[in-house]
Amino acid sequence: MNEQSVWKGHPSHLVNLGLYVLCILLCFLIVPLFVAFWVWLKTRSNVYQVTTERVLRTVGIFSRVTDTLELYRVKDLRVDQPLSLRIFGLCTIVLLTSDHTNSVFTVPAVKFNLGLQDKIRALVEQRRDVKHVREIDLE
């Protein structure tokens, strides 16, 4: 089976709204404009991609780093919608995993109506079936 992209996107700039407003209020100092641009660029350079096999997070402006999470390692999925995001139809998807480097994998401030959380859940089950992997918790 070939790996196919299911979703690709960036976090919403709404998470930086407070900083942007402050920079606009202090724009007469000139430096806040550069700060706002830098934060905008950092947010824009964060790319999240869900494929049929993995979730990838690429960050960095000049140097890029890509974290990869195999879907069969996802143990639980949570959707957080604080009021500040809910008003704008956004949510943060939190994946709790058995991966040692990414035990909590977060996809921040994405559109809630995309049904991305349902797609991820279905893909996790498909990958587990293909890999013949089952989650067992020992206590």
Measure Cα distances from 75 to 62, 93, 117, 125, 137 in Å: 33, 13, 13, 10, 10
What the block records as the tokens of 109 is: 């401030």
Q: Is residue 44 part of a domain?
A: yes
Binning pLDDT at 50, 70 and 90, where does residue 1 land?
low
- Domain assignment present for residue 101? The answer is yes
State residue 80's pLDDT score. Answer: 93
Angle at 10 between CA 56 and CA 124, to 5 degrees: 40
| Residue whose tokens read 């143990």 | 75
pLDDT digit string, tens, across residues 50-96 = 999 999 999 999 999 999 999 999 999 999 999 989 999 999 999 99
Whichever domain contains 34, its CATH number is 2.30.29.30
105 located within any domain = yes
Query: Is residue 136 assigned to a domain?
Result: no
Q: What is the pLDDT of residues 94-126, one digit of tens each?
A: 999 988 888 999 999 998 877 888 999 999 999
